[in-house]
Structure 1
C-alpha cells in the first residue's frame, strides 16, 4: 500500500470513482441473485465480498488518498459494502430455505409403506416352545424350577434309583467330566432338578423343570448330543395315577389341540408304576388304523405317537430325598422339547433346530402362540 498522495489526481484511483463502485455493487447483487444453491452462493461471496474481491481491494486504496478526499471515498465504499453485505445475507436465507424445502421433498420417507428394509431375527422355536410349556403349567398354579447343567452323579443317578451298573451310567450314554471318578457329569435329563427340589422344599410340590441335557448320542436327523427336556413333578398327599392322566391330557391339548393321550406299561428306575405316554395321532386321529385306503405317514397308521415317559414317583426316590413315602406320593413325566416341536410343526430334521439359520426360526414364528 502506498503512502499519502499529496498531489491527488482522481484518475489515478479509478476504482474509487462513483461509477466504478456502483458497477461493483451491481455485479455483486447480480451474482448473488443468480446463485441457486449454498455452494454457488459461497462462490459468489468469495468473488464479490471476500478479502480479494474488487470492493475490498478498492477499500484498500482509500489510504492512498489525501485527507480532503479520504472522507468522501470512505463513505462511498462503506455504503457499497453495506449494500453487498445486506444483499448477501438476504440471499443466504432465501437459498437455505429453498434447499431445505427441496431436501424435505426429495428425501421424504413414507413411513406408512408396508416394507421391511432390513431382515429381522426371530425367537428360536425351542426357546418359544419352552416358554409356552412354562406358561401352560404356571397357569395351572405350578412353579418353574431350574438347576445346573454340570451335575453331581449322585443327583443324576443314585438319588433317582439308578443302580451302580445301570447301562445309562456307562460312557456310551453319559458324558463324564474329568477326572472320570470325580463324580460330576453333564446331566443326562432334568430329573436332578426334581431331586434338588425335593431335597430343599417341603411338600406339596408342583414344578415344571425345563432345560438343556447331554447324551453321548449320534448327530443325525433324529438325535443330537445336546437337546432340551421339560419334566414335571408333583408330590402331595393322595396323588394317584389318575391325576397324572388328567395332567397329561390337558398338557397334550395345550400343545397339539384336539388330541388325547394313552399310557403303556414301561420301566423307569425312578417311577413305579411306569409308563410311556402316547399321543393320539393329531393328523388322522386314529382313522388310519386298519384302513389301507387312508394311510397316515405321521403315525404309520398305528393311530398313536410315542411322546415321553411318566409314572408314579418311586418311594425309594422320595426316601432318598428326605420325603416320607408313607404320607406323600407323587407323579412325574418328561418329554423332549425337540420331539414336541417336530410333532407340532412337522419339522423333519432335528439338525435344522441347531444350525442357526434364521429362516428356520421365522418359518416357525407361531410356535409360541
Structure 2
C-alpha cells in the first residue's frame, strides 16, 4: 500500500501558480479600473468573480492538492480574490456617485418655469361675477339665499301675484316638467327664493339670491334659454323707494365704478307696486351720449347716444305678495329688484355676444384669470 504523495509540487497545477493568480488578479483590477459606468462594472464583476472566472476556477483546484500544499495555495487565492473584491467595492462607490451627479445635472426640474403639460385653468366669469355681487351685498349686511332650480308652480307664480291666466305661465316663457299634475317648472326667475325666505323667517329680511333661471328664449347673441339673475329683497318697517334707489346706486358704483348712478322709469311687474325699470348711466360716455374717443363727433356705441343703459327691474313689494308669504303688510313694507348677471358682465367687460359665456371655450375663460 502506497503512502501519500509528499513530493507533489502545487506549482504543477497551472491555475494555482503564483504567476497565474497574479495575472488573473491584475486582469481583473485593470478591467475594474476601466469600467466607465455601472453597467460595464456589472459585466466585469461577472467575468472576474463569477463561477467561470479564472479566480473561481483556481479556488476549485485547491481541493486537488495534498493537505500540506492547500494552506499556501488557499492564501494566494484568497489574497487575489480579496484584492479584486476591494477594487470592485471602491469602483462601485465611485461610479454610483458619478451616476447620481449625472442624474442631478440632467434630470433637474426648474419649478419656477411655466409648465406646458397642463394649461393654466381659470374660474368661469359667471361664477366669479356672481360671487362679486354676493360680496357687495354681504358687505352691506345682507345675506345670500339659495333655492332649487326645479320649483313649485305656486312659488314661481301664485305667491308672486302671477295669476292662473297670466301670459308668463304659458309655454311661451316657461319650461314645464312632466307629469303636469306635479305642477313643477324650471324657475323663470330667482324670485321664488324670496318667497321661500319670507315663508320661513320673520322680518327684517335682507337677502340677495344669485342663480340660474330658465325661459323658452331663442339662443342668440343677446338671449339664452338658460341665464343667470341676481335678485334682492328687503322687508322691514318703513322701507320705501328711496331705500331702493340708494341700494341700487351703491350696487351700480361697486360694479361699474365711481360716478355710475341709476334712474327709474315707470313700469309694471305683478309682484311689485309701484314698479320701475332701472337704467344705468353709461359707463363709457358717462351720460354724455357721445363717443369720448371722437371728441363728441359720434354717438356713443355703448348706449347708442342715449346716455343710459337698461339694467333690470325693481319696485316696492306688492302687499299681495307679502300676505301670500305670511308677512303682515300693515306692519312691514319692502322692495325687490332683479338684474341679469350675464348682462352685467357683458357691460362690465365689453362682451358683445352672450353665447361666449356659455360655449365653454377655454380661450375665452382664461382671459378673465382667477378673479374679476
Partner of 2:321: 317
Partner of 1:221: 221
Deviates more, 1:211-220 or 1:196-205: 211-220
Partner of 2:32: 32
Partner of 2:354: 350
Partner of 1:261: 262
* Structure 1 alignment gaps of length 5 or more: none
Q: Distance in 1 between matches of 2:296 and 2:350?
A: 23
Deviates more, 1:35-44 or 1:187-196: 35-44
Matching of residue 340 in structure 1 with residue 344 in structure 2: yes
Q: Distance in 2 between matches of 1:7 and 1:340?
A: 113
Matching of residue 178 in structure 1 with residue 178 in structure 2: yes
Deviations 1:66-121, CA, capped at 9 Å, x for gaps: 222222111111111111111101111111111112221222333344x2433111
Is the CA contact 1:213–1:229 (under 8 Å) kept in the aligned structure 2?
Answer: yes
TM-score for the superposition, normalised by structure 1: 0.94
Partner of 1:303: 307
SS of 2:70's equivalent in the other structure is helix
Partner of 1:18: 18
Is the CA contact 2:156–2:191 (under 8 Å) kept in the aligned structure 1?
Answer: yes
Is the CA contact 2:317–2:336 (under 8 Å) kept in the aligned structure 1?
Answer: yes
Partner of 2:149: 149
Partner of 2:288: 287
Deviation of 1:188 (Å): 0.6
Partner of 2:76: 76
Matching of residue 250 in structure 1 with residue 250 in structure 2: yes
Is the CA contact 1:271–1:310 (under 8 Å) kept in the aligned structure 2?
Answer: yes
Partner of 1:330: 334
SS of 1:276's equivalent in the other structure is strand
Deviation of 1:201 (Å): 0.5
Matching of residue 365 in structure 1 with residue 366 in structure 2: no
CA RMSD of aligned residues (A): 1.9
Deviation of 1:134 (Å): 0.8
* Structure 2 alignment gaps of length 5 or more: none
Aligned length: 364
Q: Distance in 1 between matches of 2:352 and 2:358?
A: 13
Is the CA contact 2:122–2:368 (under 8 Å) kept in the aligned structure 1?
Answer: no
Q: Distance in 2 between matches of 1:6 and 1:322?
A: 124
TM-score for the superposition, normalised by structure 2: 0.94
Q: Distance in 1 between matches of 2:348 and 2:276?
A: 22
Q: Distance in 2 between matches of 1:226 and 1:110?
A: 45
